[in-house]
Amino acid sequence: MQLTVTPRPMSDTHWLMPPNPAKALMLAKRQLGVLVCDAVNLEGIPMTLPEVQTLLEGITVGGHKLSDQQIAVNQGQAWRQLFDWLAQGNFSLSAASACALHAVAGKEEALTWGQFRSGGVLIAGTDFIPPPVAELPSRYAAMLADLAHLPDIYDQAIHIFLTMARCQFFYDVNKRMGRFMMNGHLLQHGYPVINLPAKRQLEFNTRMLDFYASGDERAMNAFLRSCLEPGVIAIMREEG
């Protein structure tokens, strides 16, 4: 039987932002082009924001491989799927939801999409070996159970991202899936998303390699928190 843990609503104990699901979702929707643009650039696909915005409007752009354009489109569709689930109250952190979102985000990019991997994988640049296939369901369940012991909503969300990246539940698109589930959790509880700017790619990659080796989340937690824009925090803290 698959274990699904729904943690009690948590608060932001660092910035003291009050939860506001409508405002947080509005801000995320307005960032859609930026979220997708940064995500594809982090994957080594050099696209400008206007090019990504054009693709998200359903128009192809010149100078890029069709496969690269499809990756950008998939990311946009995955965000829109996530937004729809949240608006309808249907988002959950379950493995089933993660697989359903991966079916959109990883379509025709991963070896298989919409399901946990069925074989071993490696992570480039580190000697760390992700857990074997037989352990994936229990590792996912343990990740959810861990949330009950983390009092801060951002600590919870970042733990989701880091666990999904380190366990490599899918053949590909793991870091992006971790960010989708991390941000879905934040939005569900009324807090703004964490976007990883492409301009901080070197710092991100370096810190992630250290994290893969050690499993110590503290440095990555601080890094990801530093990616939350001060302007967004200010808007969330406005009264009314």
Cα atoms in the 13 Å half-sphere on the side-chain side of 56: 24
- Strand, helix or coil at 210? helix
Tokens of 220: 């990555």
In a domain, 11, yes or no: no
Give the pLDDT score at 110: 86
For residue 63, the model assigns a pLDDT of 85
In 82-144, where do the E strands start and end? Answer: none
What pLDDT does residue 6 have?
47
The amino acid present at 228, given as its one-letter code, is L
Divide the 240 residues of the chain into consecutive groups of 10 and give the mean pLDDT of each group. Answer: 49 95 97 97 94 93 89 96 97 97 94 96 96 98 97 98 98 96 98 97 97 97 97 91
Establish if 96 belongs to a structural domain.
yes
CATH number at residue 160: 1.10.3290.10
Cα–Cα distances (Å) from 1 to 124, 156, 163, 171, 182, in that order, read 33, 24, 21, 23, 24
What single DSSP character describes residue 152? B
Cα–Cα distance for residue pair 121/133, rounded to 1 Å? 10
Q: Is residue 218, in this structure, part of any structural domain at all? A: yes
DSSP letter for 148, please: G
Q: Quick check: is 7 in a domain?
A: no
Alpha carbon distance 182, 174 (integer Å): 12
8 Å CB contact between 15 and 25: no
Q: How far apart are CA 78 and CA 212, in angstroms?
A: 26
Check: CB of residue 140 under 8 Å from CB of residue 169.
Answer: yes
**Contact between 187 and 180 (Cβ < 8 Å):** no
pLDDT of residue 9: 53
pLDDT at position 1 is 41
Count other C-beta atoms under 10 Å from residue 104's C-beta: 19
- Look up residue 131 and give its two tokens: 């857990």
Number of compact structural domains in the chain: 1
Per-residue pLDDT at 239: 81
Instruction: Tell me which amino acid residue 130 is.
Output: P
Residue 15 lies in a domain: no
Q: Which pLDDT score is estimated for 62?
A: 86
In a domain, 60, yes or no: yes
| CA atoms of 213 and 166, how far apart (whole Å) | 9
Residue 12 belongs to a domain: no
Assigned domain for 120 exists: yes
Q: Which of 3, 20, 38, 4 is nearest to 153 (CA)?
A: 20
Residue 60 has what pLDDT? 87
Task: Name which of 5, 190, 188 is nearest 90 in CA terms.
Answer: 188
Question: How many Cβ atoms sit within 10 Å of the Cβ of residue 168?
Answer: 25
Pairwise CA distance, residues 158 & 204, whole Å: 14
Domain assignment of residue 101, given as a range: 21-232
